[in-house]
Structure 1
Amino acid sequence: MTTQSEQTLENNLVAQLVEQGYERVIIADNDELLANLKCQLEKHNAEKLGDTPLSDAEFKRVVNHLDKGNVFDRAKLLRDKMHLVRDDGTSAYIEFINMAKWCHNEYQVAQQIVNDGEYSTRYDVTLLINGLPLVQIELKRRGIELKEAFNQINRYRRHSYASANGLFQYVQLFVISNGVDTKYYANSVSYGGTKKASFKQTFYWTDKANKRISQIDEFARDFLEKCHVSRMITKYIVLNETDKVLMVLRPYQYYAVERIIEKVDSGSNTGGYIWHTTGSGKTLTSFKAAQIMTENPAVDKVLFVVDRNDLDYQTIKEFNSFKEGSVDGTDNTQALVKQLSDPDTKLIVTTIQKLDNAIKRERHASAMESVRDNKIVFIFDECHRSQFGETHRNITEYFTNYQMFGFTGTPIKAENATFNSRFGKRTTADLFGACLHEYVITDAINDGNVLKFSVEYVGRFKQREDSKTNIDIDVEAIDTREAMEGDARVDKITDYIITNHDYKTHNRDFTAMMCVGSTDVLRKYYDAFAARSHNLKIATIFSYQANEEDKDADGMIDEVDIDMAGSAQINEHSRDVLERAMGDYNTMFGTNYTTRDSKSFYNYYKDIAKRVKSREIDILLVVNMFLTGFDSKTLNTLYVDKNLRYHGLLQAYSRTNRILNEVKSQGNIVVFRNLKKRTDEAVRLFSDKDASETIFLKSYETYVDEFDAQVTALLAYTPSLGDVDMLVGEEAKRHFVELFREVMRTRNVLLSFADFGYDDTAMTAQQFEDYKSKYLDLYFETKGDNAEKDSILNEVDFELELVRRDEINVDYILRLLARYVDADDTEKAKLHKQIDDLMSGDEKLRSKRELIEKFISGWLPDITDSEQVDVEFQKYWSAEEKRAIEQLASEEGLDTERLEKLIADYSYSGRKPRQDDYVRTLTQTPGIRERSSVIERIADKFTKFIRVFVDDV
């Protein structure tokens, strides 16, 4: 039986779309695309244009209007109307897509449109709406890795989308499929943009129950249905103003917003809550729901309510990134009351505390009375404990015409509800109504939207040697304050963290937090870290109010307010501890924060958040703060010496599981408490009873077995390094890449285990480095002079991020060379081999290998003082750089001073020269016929020079 070809897959899809109501249109090239656009725009705007079609001059003005800006700019033009002054002086407003009535558009499907840009490209299937290409579908035959289609689209965007009139920069959505797997994603970056497209931002479509729809025919029937795909474009793509990129909602976000809209449109006042697991993008979901509801004339106000002051700033920033200027921050209750009274302010972000003050305080009574009966939709972010008391009752009793919706990753159910003497036990459903949509942690992990957790339980108490028995006592059996908070235990845990931190964070590619049970214990840890020799950057923050002490240790994590008024009663002892820690922080980062000023403390909070995200802080010590509501993709490890339970436990663990890159394969949880039972309880409650295998990584031994099996497959295919060199044909090379990539992926997981060593595996460390070098050889083969040919290897995902673990650069090599000077002959041989292996295995150092080898053989033998290695290397490097510049200038007839300026400009801006910049460096201007080849040759040599002497030096 033969495999279905790519062409058959394509033809079947087009036939299905025609059956679904798309008009099939034959478009060969850009000229025919323009001709079709003219016809479709005339058809769509028939009422506006009357009986007079667009003249050639009028259509040219339309095309000129459309041919402006990048992908983001064109997305705005698509959603706006064009004021067209017609040839006879009359006006018409040309609509490019009907945003309000999304089904009222013209739909076509085309195959194999050829676009001649930098390289000639041919697109598989294109969906046109009103003549504009808005959805691009790239297909691969069954059995081919889906990412190959993704990589191919990236090449199309780079080489041809901006060509001619740039109409393909109007593409809003991409669809990639190999028949059995199908994903969609937004056109989130244009060629030359600062944001790189990531395969991790491609999504499967699902039904309402989160069941994946992956077969291409099912996907086309559901997602590519005419009204649905235009609804996704008009309603569910968000234009992120901060990053200037398009963002499309994932299916669970779409269904949640749809359910909220249905509730509001129904005319009832019943609400409900959305259960979407922590890290799944609730802010984007709530923003889109709020945005759509503000367009509803029946709704007077939409209030997005957060329950902590420290989230106010963060949420406003995120909302404004989706729509610039969409939110006015409410600095005080009076500002909130003014916004509520202003009919032009429809969307408000505020805190539940300010809302409560607006209702209760007498001085606001008159102003508030005017909005009391308005139709108000409340959206509560993370509807946790602060809505479960008197404040919630005040809101629901005051307003007469409201609907209330809550978002949570960890809802309060009967099992994890706490008893309140005034209100009893209340669940999320009691307060908000039924759950409208669920997307639990198992769903998110299966979809690749959050990471699994690797949970290790560390810590054993050993009885004294003079005891009658000499056995280890598991920490599960001990939970007394004296034992758990003793100095000896704190010292041992501190030593453990210092020893193993680099394993957990991939040599500090990531950061960590440590949570403890009280400020007293935090002080012990802070002092223990300070007393030891290490180069970890440790910081801390905690509320210096008396309620920070977690004495009952129920693990629920009370929400912590930062009191901007500075009126909270202060625990002087804990404040002194924090003031001292802030002093250390000021010394470390050159800041000037203090607890004596509440505004300064708030700024300290924001600065810590920023530095954790930017990896300037290695470990942040906390009690409660930052364990909820803080998102950092660069944080991958949580050390736990604190009793946690239910939603508090899962919220804390979830600080580590945000998706970032291939290196970050899981969130690491290192637990020094008896939390195994409570962890299992939380998993069961917030997913399902069989979820443990999904949420948590497998054992170390299991991954070793997987690694060995992958190594066996690799060595069976290429038993030696020479066998890699003997591979003939791109299919054979691609298979090697795929085999070694699986070895790398599993090794990446193993590196997070403190017990990992190559002695446990079927491959030595040297073998891995040797095969990694061959893997890199194949990568650079695709980046050579013939890189743009239609090559299979161009489509392979090389995942170079997995290769790098240590930050290997020229500075690192110089430190090894300094050791080389003082070493004996045996040690020199080892160091020389280590340096050689590093340079052959690291992509950044390969281009510098020849020069560094020349320094080792020609200069290093004459250096007797290791401290002079750096100085002599700088002299050598400068001389070689000057020689290379002179050689390039001589070979190509360039003005040396202008060439040096070109290099200096690149060093400053990172921007490669344009063609005209190269021409200006020539001492003689080439003829028109040879100009292109001369510039291409100079650009190639310039790039090689930059790679050697400028980049990563």
Structure 2
Amino acid sequence: MYYTEFKRQMAKDPSKKLRIATIYSYAPNEEVKMIGALDEENSEDTNNLDASSRDFLENAIKDYNEMFNTNYDTSSDKFQNYYKDVSLRMKNRELDLLIVVNMFLTGFDATTLNTLWVDKNLKMHGLIQAFSRTNRILNSIKTFGNIVCFRNLQKEVDDAISLFGDKDAGGIVLMKRFTDYYNGFDENGKHNPGYVEMIEKLCSKFPLSDPRITGENNQKEFVTLFGAILRMRNLLSSFDDFKGNEIISERDFQDYMGRYQDIHDSLTPKIKDKKDIADDLVFETELIRQIEVNIDYILMLVEKYKEDHCEDKDLLITIRKAVDSSSELRSKKELIDDFISTVNEVDDVISSWKSYVSEQMIKDLDQIVADERLKPKETEKFIHNSFSDGMIKETGTGIDSLMPPMSRFGGGGNRAKKKHVVIDKLKGFFNKYQGIAPTI
């Protein structure tokens, strides 16, 4: 029923297109009563299915074959391979949604799974087993899993957590209500500030009307507060109630992210040098990357700016704020600004941007080669490999191969200093063009 409904809605509205698969190998869902110990999974056996269930599964697998250009069916060998392929694609995030009946509950772990929808009566370790499919913590972005129940399992959840944890474990295992995180709550004699309080403190203590946050103690307080807001917004984003209740506008939030990035850039050298002020500062770089804009969004705004004959100064401010808020685009700010200054003269923004980047990239690399007397072909090869690897390798033969010949009588210190300068310039070049560079 679920699979059929999803297909109906996707056929009706192409914007709802999802990559959906289903897999089961025994009795239909409605025949399974309240279960504690889930039946042992048998990923190969479809013999217990009645004719209509098997025919339906056969057609669902045909849909899967069309989606991924595979050749599976419900016969024993091919169904086993279908199970393995579905498992792999789930782990690789090639499927958006998988509908199962008593499957993928044991021997399967994908940390990227974020939501489990439950339409089955569960209890005890059967419940814990099922819920555990989505509770794997992945990084600072995925700090919890979402469970959406279509049945009233509150008592069963409390009983299972008490048995497998302790009687007070529910407060640790389960998230609180939206209003608790949004407005704050008291627990064990301590007040835990909510999102509203955090935003009020941010706007009063660090108003955007002040152009800069000065003083290391103020900067440290701002980083700590804004980091807490980023974590809270990440948590609240799992609640539908948060949409439309963000309090702060998108543009103002980008302004604050820009300030956060400015402080990060200024304090990073001190963190590396282990100076006291930044010793215990933690920058939520993963959360920033999750919500930051990309170059496609910027080019869309540039297109609008061009259509307005480059007269919409408010739009220009929006573009610059968006760039400042992004850790990835900040290093490309000069490149983007220079391109915008020429956009009134181009016909197509996207193709002109690509040509502009290609030309500037060659000029910048040639300049580095000339200034540091590097070997051109070796430098070009090194940069090509760096973009392929996603990083500038500071050790190994790669960097040495492009260095200019230096007298051995000048002392090893001069060569080491020269190498350090070259690496810094190539890192700047790499950061400037990473993610937008054409193949060299």
TM-score range, shorter chain: 0.7 to 0.9
CA displacement, residues 248-291 of structure 1 (integer Å, 9 cap, x when unaligned):
xxxxxxxxxxxxxxxxxxxxxxxxxxxxxxxxxxxxxxxxxxxx
Q: In the TM superposition, what is the alpha-carbon distance from 1:904 to its structure 2 partner?
A: 1.5
Q: 2:96 aligns with which of 618, 627, 631?
A: 618
Report the secondary structure of 2:137's partner residue. Answer: coil
Match of 1:814, SS?
Answer: helix
Give CA-to-partner distance per residue, 1:680-708, whole Å, 9 cap, x none: 44444444444433332222112111112
Q: 2:19 aligns with which of 521, 538, 543?
A: 538
> Structure 2 length normalisation: TM-score?
0.84
The one-letter code of the counterpart of 1:633 is T
2:41 to 561, 570, 592: 561
* TM-score, length basis structure 1: 0.41
2:324 to 824, 829, 840: 840
Deviation of 1:658 (Å): 1.0
Distance 2:291 2:281 in 1: 24
What CA distance in whole angstroms lies between the structure 2 residues aligned with 1:821 and 1:921? 42
- Looking at structure 2, the residues matched to 538 and 567 of structure 1 have their Cα atoms a distance apart, in angstroms, of 23
Report what 1:942 is aligned to: 426
Q: Distance in 1 between matches of 2:402 and 2:16?
A: 47
Once residues 563 and 607 of structure 1 are traced to their aligned partners in structure 2, the CA distance between those partners, rounded to angstroms, is 12
**CA shift in 2, pair 1:570/1:656, >3 Å:** closer
Higher normalized strand content (fraction of residues): 1
SS of residue paired to 1:899: helix
Paired residues of 1:582 and 1:594 also in contact (CA < 8 A): yes
Which runs of no fewer than 5 residues in structure 2 stay unpaired? 184-193
Residue of structure 2 equivalent to 1:912: 393
Q: Is 1:884 matched up with 2:367?
A: no
The letter of the residue matching 2:68 is F
Q: Which has the higher helix share?
A: 2
- The correspondence for 1:870, drawn from 350, 360, 364, is 350
Q: Deviation of residue 721 (structure 1)?
A: 6.2
Q: CA deviation at 1:798?
A: 0.8
Quick one: structure 1 residues 823 and 595, their matched pair in 2 at CA, closer, same or farther if it must change by over 3 Å?
Answer: farther
Q: Which amino acid aligns with 1:771?
A: Y
Counterpart residue identity of residue 235, structure 2: V
Tell me the CA shift for residue 825 of structure 1: 7.3
Counterpart amino acid of 2:57?
L
What is the 5 A alignment of 1:618-637? 618-637=96-115
> Which residue of structure 2 lines up, in the alignment, with residue 745 of structure 1?
231
Matched, 1:801 2:286: yes
**Structure 2 residue corresponding to 1:779, chosen from 264, 276, 301:** 264
Q: 1:855 aligns with which of 334, 339, 348?
A: 339
Structure 1 residues 639 and 817 mapped into 2: Cα distance closer, same or farther (>3 Å)? farther
Instruction: Check conservation: 2:72, 2:79, Cα contact below 8 A.
Output: yes
Give aligned-pair identity as a percent: 34
Partner in structure 1 of residue 196 of structure 2:
708
CA–CA distance in structure 1, aligned partners of residues 427 and 124 of structure 2: 55
Structure 2 match to 1:694: 172
The verdict on how the C-alpha distance between 1:626 and 1:916 changes in structure 2, with shifts beyond 3 A counting, is: closer
CA–CA distance in structure 2, aligned partners of residues 604 and 816 of structure 1: 44
* 1:757 CA displacement: 3.6
Cα deviations by residue, 1:301-324 (Å, 9 ceiling, x for unpaired): xxxxxxxxxxxxxxxxxxxxxxxx
What is the aligned partner in structure 2 of residue 736 from structure 1?
Answer: 222
Distance across 2 between alignment mates of 1:544 and 1:883: 61
Q: Does the 8 A contact of 1:787 with 1:794 survive in 2?
A: yes
Letter in 2 for 1:797: V
Residue in structure 2 matching 1:766, options 248, 251, 260: 251
Given residue 144 of structure 2, which amino acid in structure 1 is its aligned partner? Q
Instruction: Report the CA distance shift for 1:622/1:570 in structure 2 as closer, same or farther (over 3 A).
Output: closer
Cα 1:846–1:616 change in 2 (3 A) is: same
Does residue 655 of the first structure (1) align with residue 133 of the second (2)?
yes
1:30-179 equivalences in 2 (<5 Å) = none
Distance in 2 (CA, whole Å) between partners of 1:563 and 1:665 is 30
Q: Please point out which of 142, 147, 151 is paired with 1:673.
A: 151
Pick closer, same or farther for the CA change 1:529–1:758 going to 2, 3 Å. Answer: closer
Give me the whole-angstrom Cα distance separating, in 2, the residues matched to 1:671 and 1:821. 49
**Of the two structures, which has the highest relative contact order with CA contacts closer than 8 Å and spacing of 6 or more?**
2
Match of 1:843, SS state, is coil
Q: Deviations over 1:37-57 (max 9, x none)?
A: xxxxxxxxxxxxxxxxxxxxx
The answer (yes or no) to whether the contact 1:844–1:952 under 8 Å persists in 2 is no
Q: Distance in 1 between matches of 2:244 and 2:181?
A: 13
- Offset, 1:845: 0.8
Aligned to 1:642: 120
How far has the Cα of 1:937 moved from its partner? 0.5
- Pairwise CA distance, 1:751: 1.1
Change (3 A) 1:631 1:854: same
Cα 1:737–1:632 shift into 2, 3 Å: same
The counterpart of 1:722, out of the listed 185, 210, 214, is 210
Distance 2:346 2:33 in 1: 61
Give distance in 1, aligned partners of 2:425 and 2:10: 51
Decide whether the 8 Å contact of 2:116 with 2:146 is kept in 1. Answer: yes
- Separation in 1, partners of 2:403, 2:170: 66
Aligned residue for 2:264, secondary structure, equals: helix
Aligned 8 A contact 1:522 1:623 in 2: no
The one-letter code matched in structure 1 to 2:359 is A
| C-alpha distance in 2 between matches for 1:764 and 1:567 | 54
CA distance in structure 2 between the aligned counterparts of 1:688 and 1:787, rounded to whole angstroms: 41
Distance across 2 between alignment mates of 1:668 and 1:890:
55
CA deviation string 1:164-183 (max 9, x = no partner): xxxxxxxxxxxxxxxxxxxx
Q: Quick check: 1:593–1:604 contact (8 Å CA) kept in 2?
A: yes
For 1:661 and 1:592, locate their aligned partners in 2 and report how far apart those are by CA, in whole Å.
Answer: 36
RMSD: 2.9
- Tell me the distance in 2 between the aligned counterparts of 1:759 and 1:558: 41
List aligned pairs for 1:395-410, cutoff 5 A.
none
3-state SS of 1:621 partner: strand
Paired with 2:43 and 2:115, the residues of 1 have a C-alpha distance of 29
Report deviation, 1:678: 3.8
Measured against aligned partners, the alpha-carbon deviations of 1:217-261 in whole angstroms (never above 9, x if no partner) come to xxxxxxxxxxxxxxxxxxxxxxxxxxxxxxxxxxxxxxxxxxxxx
Structure 1 pair 721/841, CA: closer, same or farther in 2 (3 Å)?
farther
SS state of the match for residue 147, structure 2?
A: strand
